[in-house]
Structure 1
Amino acid sequence: MVPKPKITLYLDTVSPFAYEAYHILRNDPIFKNVEIKYVPIFLGGLMNKVWFLQFPPPSPPSIHSSITLITSIASPHLTNVTQTKTVRQHRPINIKNKDKWINIERLRWARAFSIPIISDMPPNFPPNTLPTQRVLAGIEASSSSQSQQSQSQSAIIAALDALYKAYWVNGTPVHEPAHLRSVLASPLEGGEAAADKVLAAAQTAEVKQRLVQNTDQAFADGAFGLPWFTCTNSKGETEGFWGVDHLGQVVQFLGLDRGVSGNGGWKSVL
């Protein structure tokens, strides 16, 4: 039997393009025979690794300066305040003209693939998604056996469906604690009690480390931004692809049939 093609999609709820990639993979029949795994990472942590390895500090960071938020969650050895400021300055939203392009581009792809999305950027964008991503990592960390891994993916998908709809469609500030709890209570089996459980688990060292490991794995797979697709075709060949605008290349690499889709959006990709 020919092995199924596989996609690992690394994502963070802060990225509109990761949402769009997720929506397409979830809903387009092109991917119905693809084994897909959704892996939550922290984009801020990934940017730490990308920028600090490219532009290392002039001297080793001091242990006395380990007071920054981004550092503590993603790369424990990167603890310099000046370094963190550098990452913030180089966030895509802070690059001149790119902030406007991001908004235009996300709407362009949403129209092409009929993806529901809020017309204006959500208030106070970009939010701190660390608590949200830890929750998703906690759901993932609850699995050990193969059957549990399947269940955790189902739970992650249910949570992502709810979070993405609330944030990128309705503009609800889901990254605020009260909203995060209420949004999670709906898709999780067990309602508010289940939401409280995953929120509590997100504060544990185990779950925090799981998010670090996921982010490190994305980087090891070649990621420098989101969405990042690590794809394996039926020949066993593996390649990485960045961006929703490279989904056409993903489809080609995996040998998928665009004809089954019926979505006109595929005319806009190579």
Structure 2
Amino acid sequence: MGGKIEAYLDCVSPYSYFALLFLLRNSDILKSHGVEIDFIPVFLGGIMVGSENTPPWKNQNKAKYSTYDSKRAQKYFGVNFETPPFFPILSLLPQRAITFIKSSYPQSKFEDTFCDLWKAMWENHDDLSKPKKMIDLLSKRFEPDDVKKIMEGANKPEIKQELNEKTKQALDSGAFGCPWFEVTNTNGKKEPFFGSDRFHFMFDFLGLPWQDIAIKEKPNL
């Protein structure tokens, strides 16, 4: 029992948001079982190109199905939003900014701000590819000097390279979308998982106790 979950996420992906929320809500109990979680910002556009995958909105049947699947997932994970009118955006700026925050601020600050990216874009429809919108978001959680530091840090060559390397790391492990996970159990065995609906397989791989979905018996009236 125990191990590590490496979660590769991009704020342009609503299913990454579902995965982030689920893992954060269960982080304490996962920690009690000896499971470490590492949230890793990546650039989904690079993963899609590198894996030669087709985004759902470019496939008529996928796009039609996703309208149903998204609402079902939102209900399950406890959120409610509509696709922003500017979707899909180029997520490089927010993903570079959160990469810098991860390397420069406490874990809790990083996790809270990572959640802020999805809330701003998906719930408030703020286009975070625009620097002004990104500054407005950061100003709610950081002091002005820190906001300036983060915005400058997001454009540093080493941060751009870090995001590129993490994206390549995900690709090299087999990623074709987000959320993508690399999970290592206590025996040192590592396996990949994809999507926000594979946690039961993940927990089984980690040797964690979990409850399966079951249909309840019809009560006798």
- Please, what TM-score do these two structures have when normalized by structure 2? 0.86
Is 1:182–1:192's contact at 8 Å kept on the other side of the alignment? no
Is 2:15–2:179's contact at 8 Å kept on the other side of the alignment? yes
Is 1:103–1:121's contact at 8 Å kept on the other side of the alignment? no
- 3-state SS in 2 of match to 1:105: helix
- Distance (Å, rounded) in 2 between the aligned partners of 1:37 and 1:159: 15
Deviations, residues 220-249 of structure 1 (Å, cap 9, x unaligned): 222111100111112222111001121221
Deviations, residues 71-126 of structure 1 (Å, cap 9, x unaligned): xxxxxxxxxxxxxxxx7xx322211121222232122122123x2131x2112111
Correspondence for 1:61: none
Using the TM superposition, give the Cα deviation of residue 156 of structure 1 relative to its aligned residue in structure 2, in angstroms: 2.0
Deviations, residues 30-50 of structure 1 (Å, cap 9, x unaligned): 534321001000011112211
Correspondence for 1:40: 41
Correspondence for 2:90: 128
- Distance (Å, rounded) in 1 between the aligned partners of 2:209 and 2:121: 32
Correspondence for 2:166: 214
1:203 to 2:166 alignment: no
Task: Give, as a single letter, the amino acid of the residue that structure 1 aligns with 2:213.
Answer: K
Using the TM superposition, give the Cα deviation of residue 152 of structure 1 relative to its aligned residue in structure 2, in angstroms: 4.6
Map 1:38-77 → 2, pairs under 5 A: 38-51=39-52
Correspondence for 2:74: 110
Q: Which has the higher contact order (CA 8 A, sep 6+)?
A: 2
Task: Give, as a single letter, the amino acid of the residue that structure 2 aligns with 1:112.
Answer: Y
Correspondence for 1:263: none
- Distance (Å, rounded) in 1 between the aligned partners of 2:209 and 2:147: 39
Correspondence for 2:10: 12
- 3-state SS in 1 of match to 2:88: coil
Map 1:143-182 → 2, pairs under 5 A: 151-182=105-136
Contiguous gaps of at least 5 residues in structure 1: 52-86, 143-150, 260-265
- Distance (Å, rounded) in 2 between the aligned partners of 1:179 and 1:109: 27
Is 1:30–1:258's contact at 8 Å kept on the other side of the alignment? no
1:194 to 2:192 alignment: no
100, 109, 114: which one aligns with 2:64: 100
Using the TM superposition, give the Cα deviation of residue 258 of structure 1 relative to its aligned residue in structure 2, in angstroms: 2.5
- 3-state SS in 2 of match to 1:10: strand
Is 2:3–2:186's contact at 8 Å kept on the other side of the alignment? yes
User: Percent same amino acid among aligned pairs?
Assistant: 35
Contiguous gaps of at least 5 residues in structure 2: 215-221
Is 2:200–2:210's contact at 8 Å kept on the other side of the alignment? no
- Aligned pairs, number: 211
- 3-state SS in 2 of match to 1:244: coil
Using the TM superposition, give the Cα deviation of residue 27 of structure 1 relative to its aligned residue in structure 2, in angstroms: 0.7
- 3-state SS in 2 of match to 1:245: coil
- Please, what TM-score do these two structures have when normalized by structure 1? 0.72
Task: Give, as a single letter, the amino acid of the residue that structure 2 aligns with 1:131.
Answer: L
- Distance (Å, rounded) in 1 between the aligned partners of 2:166 and 2:172: 10
- Distance (Å, rounded) in 1 between the aligned partners of 2:80 and 2:206: 28
